[in-house]
Structure 1
C-alpha cells in the first residue's frame, strides 16, 4: 500500500556535479555562444543585478537604453556602483528608435558599455537589437543584452551579433524553471569585471562565479536547489528535441495569429509586427473602456489577460503566447476571450471572424 504522505518532490537527490558543465554547454549552444557560460542559482533579475554590480566602477561610462522598469533598474544598479550612466528613454511602452541611439553615441565623448533589453514582456515590444549592436561594435563598446524575454522567441546569435554579456532566464519561451538563470560573458567583458576592486564574496559577484569556470566547472558554490536544475535539464531536452529554430517559429506563428485575430475583431495591435515581441501581444483598449473590466471578463472564461506594466501606457491589455502558450488553442482562447470581453462592455467585436483569422493563420 502506498504511503499517503509520500511526495516525489521530497528527498530529491543532489544534482550531479559533473552535469553542470554540460548544462552550461547546452545553453551556450542555444545562444550560439563560444563565450563563458555562467549558471546563476536565482531568478534572472538576480543575474541582471549581478551584471550591473560586477561591471560598475568609478570612471565607467555607460549608455543605458530604457524601455521598461528593468532598464531603469539596471541604470540604478550601475550608478550605485559609481558608474557614470546616461539613460536614453523611449516613448512610453514603445521600442527605442535607432536614430536616438546613434545620436546619443555620437554626442558622448566616451562610452565603455551599452546596455539594452531585447524584447519587453511589459509592453510586447522588440528593440532593434542588430542595429543597436552594430553601432556599438563599430565603436568598440562592450554590450550587455537582457535577453530574458526573447531567448527562444526571437533569433539570438551571440557570436554573430557580438554580444559581450547576454543574460537569460529559461522560464519564458524556453518553458523552463524560474529559479535559475544564466549568462554568456566574453573576454572583453571579463576585462572590465576582473579588476582589483571587483565585488567579491557575494551572490552578485560574477568574479566569484568565474572561479567555477577556472576550477574545472564541477560543483557550483553554495547549496544548489536540485529541482531547478533537473527542471532546466528537462526544458533543454524539449528545446533540443524540437530545435531552437522550430521553437522560435512557433512563437512567431503565435504572434502572427494573435495579430490576425485582433485585426478581425477590429482591435489593432499596439505596435506593427517589425516592432513587436513574439511572446506577448499588447492591444490598446478602446476609449471609454477599462482594462481591468476586460481582464475580469476574460478571467470568467478561464483566460488570463494582463495589463501593460511599468512605463507602458495604462490602456494596454496583453495577450500572452509565451512558452507552453505558443499554441493554436491558447492563441484562440486569448483572442476569443478578448472579443467576448469587448462585447460584454458594449463594444462591437466580430468573434467569428477573429476565430477564422486565427485558424487561417495556423492552416497556412
Structure 2
C-alpha cells in the first residue's frame, strides 16, 4: 500500500475550550477595550453583516458613511432589516469630510446609529475617526466601526473613542488568519440590539453569540475550526511580542517611506499623509498610461501591484505594505517595481532617487 505519510493537517486536535476566553481578552487588550469581545468563526465580512442584521429593524435611523463598497453593503444590510438609512458618500476613493457629517447631524432627523469604515484598503484612505466619534458621542449615537483594515495599522482605542461596535479581522495588519474575526460590543450597543426582540437562531445573530458570554465563555457554539484559532493565537503572540505600538509604528514608517519614494520617483500619492491609510498607498495613473500594463510590468519583476477597488474613475494603483509587508524590503520592491513599470511605459522615473529616499526614511 502506498504510504502518504503523516500530515499535520490530518487529525488536528480540538482547540481547548478554556482558551477562547483568553483569546477574547487578548483581542480586547489590542483594542484597548473592556467591552464584550465576540469571536466569529468566519471572515470579517460575516461579522460586519452580523452587526447590521442584529441592529436593523423598522424605526431604526442610521447615518451610514460610505467611502467604499463595504460601506455600501452595510447600508444594504441595514435596509434589508427595515432600518431607515441615510448614506453619506465621499468622492471616488476619497475620505469623508467631518464637516459633511456635522451638517447632516445638525440638519437631519434623530439618528440612532452611525456607521463607517476607519481605513479603506480599497483606496488607501483614512477616515477621521476621532473627530467623527466626538460628534457621535455629543449626540448620544451608537457607533459601528469597520476596523478590519485599520487594527494594527492605526491607533484604535475603542473605549476612549467611544466606539460601541468595532469589527476587526486579523488577516491584514495583524498578520493572522482570514477565517476568523471578532467584534467588541458595548453595553449601549447590547441595549439597542436586544430591544424589541433581536434576531435569533442565525449565524448572523449577535444575540445568539452573546450566549457564549452569558454562559461563562467556554466552548463556542457550533463546530469551531481549530486551525483558525491556533493560527489566531500564533498571530496574537507575534503582535504581543512586537508590541501593538511597534506594529502601528512599523506600518506608519512603511507608509511614510512609500510616499517619500513615490515623491522622489516623480509620482504623487493619491491623498496627503493625514488622509492616507498606513496599509496601502494609492497612486493615480495618468490617462496616458494603462494601469493593466503597469501591473503586468511589475509582476514580471515579482511584485504585485493592484488596482483600487470601486474607484475606476480615479484610476488608482495600490502599493501594499500591510502586515508582514510593512518592512523595508517590500516597500523598496514596490516603489522600484512601479518606477520600472513607468519607465517601460515611456514615462520618466528616477528610481535611484526613490531608492535613496526610502533608505533615508528607514535610516532615521
Query: Shorter chain as normaliser: what TM range?
Result: over 0.9
Structure 1, 350-359 or 285-294: larger mean CA deviation: 285-294
Change (3 A) 1:52 1:183: same
- 3-state DSSP of counterpart to 2:173: coil
Where does residue 61 of structure 2 map in the other structure? 61
Answer yes or no: is 1:101 the counterpart of 2:96.
Answer: no
Deviation of 1:11 (Å): 1.0
Q: Which moved more, 1:147-156 or 1:196-205?
A: 196-205
> Match of 1:334?
334
Aligned-residue offset at 1:34: 0.5
> What is the DSSP-based 3-state SS (H/G/I as helix, E as strand, rest coil) of the residue aligned with 1:10?
coil
Could you say what the CA RMSD is over the residues aligned between the two structures, in angstroms?
1.0
Distance 1:285 1:48 in 2: 32
Tell me the CA shift for residue 196 of structure 1. Answer: 3.9
Q: Which residue of 2 aligns with 1:259?
A: 259
> 1:14: which partner in 2?
14
1:242 aligns with 2:234: no
- TM-score scaled by length of structure 2: 0.98
Report the Cα offset of residue 287 of structure 1. Answer: 2.7
Q: What's the counterpart of residue 121 of structure 2?
A: 121
TM-score (norm 1): 0.98
Name the structure 1 match of 2:189. Answer: 189
Give the drift of 1:268: 0.3
Q: Deviations over 1:180-215 (max 9, x none)?
A: 000000000001111342111100000000000000
Query: d(CA) in 1 for partners of 2:202 and 2:180?
Result: 17
Deviations 1:60-118 (A, max 9, x none): 00000000000000000000000000000001100000110001111112000000100
Deviation at 1:360, TM superposition (A): 0.5
Deviation at 1:7, TM superposition (A): 1.5
Within 2, Cα distance between the matches of 1:180 and 1:84?
Answer: 30
1:166-185 equivalent positions in 2, closer than 5 A: 166-185=166-185
| DSSP 3-state at the match of 2:313 | coil
- Contact 1:39/1:182 (8 A) holds in 2: yes
For residues 206-252 of structure 1, what are the alpha-carbon distances to aligned partners after superposition, in whole Å with 9 as ceiling and x for unaligned?
A: 00000000000000000000000000000000000111000000000
Tell me the CA shift for residue 164 of structure 1.
0.2
Are 2:93 and 1:79 aligned? no
1:130-173 alpha-carbon deviations (Å, 9 max, x no partner): 00000000000000000000000000000110000000000000
Contact 1:290–1:315, Cα closer than 8 Å, also in 2: no
Equivalent residue pairs, number = 363
Counterpart of 2:110 in structure 1 is 110
Query: Unpaired runs of 5+ in structure 2?
Result: none
